[in-house]
Amino acid sequence: MEENRQVFEVDEDAYGGMNVHIKESMDSIKFIALLRASISQWTNQGKKGVWIKLHIEYAHLVNDAVKEGFWYHHAEATYLMLVYWIPQTPHTIPANASHRVGIGALVINDNGEVLVVQEKNGTFKGTGVWKLPTGVVDEGEDICDAAIREVHEEAGIKAEFVELLAFRQSHKSFFGKSDLFFVCMLKPLSYNIQKQDSEIEGAQWMAIEEYAAQPFIKKHEMFNKIAEICLAKKENKYNGFSKVLMTSAFSTKRTYLYYSQNS
């Protein structure tokens, strides 16, 4: 921080927002004095949003920030992000991330068998239902890589991504967030199953027709439709989306675009 000006050190974003850096511990009196002086200066400069990223070691300052008009935006394991809007207008601060992303993996071997698992925990515990390996995409992880990772974690099978077959969106799911679930087709590179004992009750290769004929699958519309897609893919009667690395107008970093290359 710049002690001679008695305001916080900040980075300004492209939208007139001020990102405050708290780099050292301080008491409430000093924090409030700096905060008020900073907001006064930014108000005169016509700035808009203020973001304070408070790491967990500075959690004692949260109450002071809230009393000055800040509110919670989001939190992670090691920090809390607080925000403030300077203009006397409705704020345009973007909401926190709205979706969680999950994957289901269709792994078909050369015998037309699909890799299925039974889970020890969750909704499917004790139901006897054989299901596709599923899981949550980690932060910074591509959908295709998440599918490969989950298959290896749950069943010990190495695989490579082939196509994105389908996806669904639901709302008011995990912690009230929306949910995106992507069904990915993988090609196995190994076949000897070594299940994850902590989470998986059983794992096996099953004829895809047997998987699709399970009463639970037949009963529920979306599960049944996914099974139909899997059957159609086995017969080469369905085309999914392949992954292609590309750059965009906003970054030189290459990211995956998933699209059909058969049209």
Residues whose CB is less than 8 angstroms from the CB of residue 6 and which lie 6 or more positions away in sequence, other chains included: 33, 34, 37
How far is it, in rounded angstroms, from Cα 177 to Cα 54? 23
- From the candidates 9, 153, 199, 201, give the one annotated as an active-site residue: 153
- Tell me if residue 153 is catalytic: yes
What is the gyration radius of the CA atoms in the chain, in angstroms?
25
Return the beta strands (E) in the chain as ranges.
10-12, 18-21, 49-55, 71-75, 79-85, 99-107, 113-119, 134-136, 159-170, 178-188, 200-207, 242-246, 255-259
SS3 183: strand
DSSP characters over 7-22:
B--EEE-TTS-EEEE-
The catalytic residue positions are 153
